[in-house]
A = this chain, B = another copy of it.
Amino acid sequence: MKTQVVAGIDIGGTNTEIALVDREGKVLFSSKLSTKAHSTPESWVEATITILKDGLRSTGANLVATGIGAPSANYFSGCIEFAPNMPWAGKIPLAEMVEKETFRPCKITNDANAAALGEQLFGSAKWLKDFVVVTLGTGLGSGFIVNDQVMYGHDGFAGELGHVIVEHNGRLCGCTRHGCLETYVSATGIVTTAKDFLSFMGDLSILNEIPLDKLESRHIAEAAEKGDKVAINILGATAEKLAFALANMVAITSPSHIFLYGGLAKAGKFILDPTRKYFESYLLRNYAGKVKIELSGLPDHAAVLGAAALAWKELS
């Protein structure tokens, strides 16, 4: 009998990753294409289907469904809706377009929800029914599993933890408001925080050697790893904001676990340890010691696994 696989597709503004994934999360085939190179979704679908056919031919596997993770993707409508960083404007009925070409069901969701499903099927959240995945990248996303189901909210747009306001009159956010969590806790936010710190204690840090306009979040993580106290404090200040928002979130959804996923989470203990410490200090006593904060158990670049998990979950 042929191996059953799903296609897991992760669409970013720059690249699309495509993988064929079996029920155990094993990637049998993977490939990439440039999202940007396709000025219309029709042309993107055509290129994607060509790659999928190649993959199915080379693996000899049988496609049963497709899952897609993408920014601003709406599970209910099956559309990518007005994504700010995508080459295609408006509302794109991508799930339907892919179904027409594959003759198999296709589901779509935003990348953070996909990450949560990936964590549950293939990562550290197996058997967990109430948990949250926080994706720390250029921005901050979140996917909530509540009572063993993705919490989509009434409109498909639940889980915008990055846009919880943590500082009245705080930093200006891309959303036009002030003080959103992701203006502090994200690759972009941490660089802003670093510039603040370096403006008055730059001479104490090896980060001072990097021109400010070249400073990236990975430099801060690397400096912390080398014992740079300023870098460690920058990560600590970032962790404090994250912990505050997480403690407030727990008072609403009461998850058993919070998983940190993505680039910034790779700062490892320098972000994890202070987040745990501040989190416990901010937490309502009812929850003390009950909620675990962990790094994601998914491998790097596991967005395709999340998309694949969506497809598997829908079939079961």
Binding site for B on A (CB under 8 A): 128-131, 142, 144, 146-147, 149, 151-161, 163-165, 175-177, 244, 247-249, 251-256, 282, 284-287, 290
Contact = CB atoms under 8 A, between A and B. Distances in A.
B153 A254 contact: yes
Contacts of A159: 252, 254
Decide if the interface of chain A is mainly helix, strand, loop or mixed: loop
Contact of A253 (B175, B248, B253): B253
B284 A163 contact: yes
A239 to B, nearest CB: 16
A175 B284 contact: yes
Q: How many copies does the complex hold?
A: 2
A88 to B, nearest CB: 18
Nearest to A147: B149
A50 to B, nearest CB: 34
A280 to B, nearest CB: 12
A163 B247 CA distance: 10
Contacts of A131: 154
A142 B253 CA distance: 11
10 contacts: A130-B154, A146-B151, A152-B254, A154-B255, A155-B254, A155-B287, A156-B254, A158-B254, A161-B251, A164-B251
Contacts of A160: 251-252, 254, 284, 286
Contacts of A129: 154
Given A144-B252, A156-B254, A176-B285, 7 more contacts: A146-B147, A159-B254, A161-B251, A161-B252, A175-B285, A177-B284, A248-B248
Contacts of A176: 285
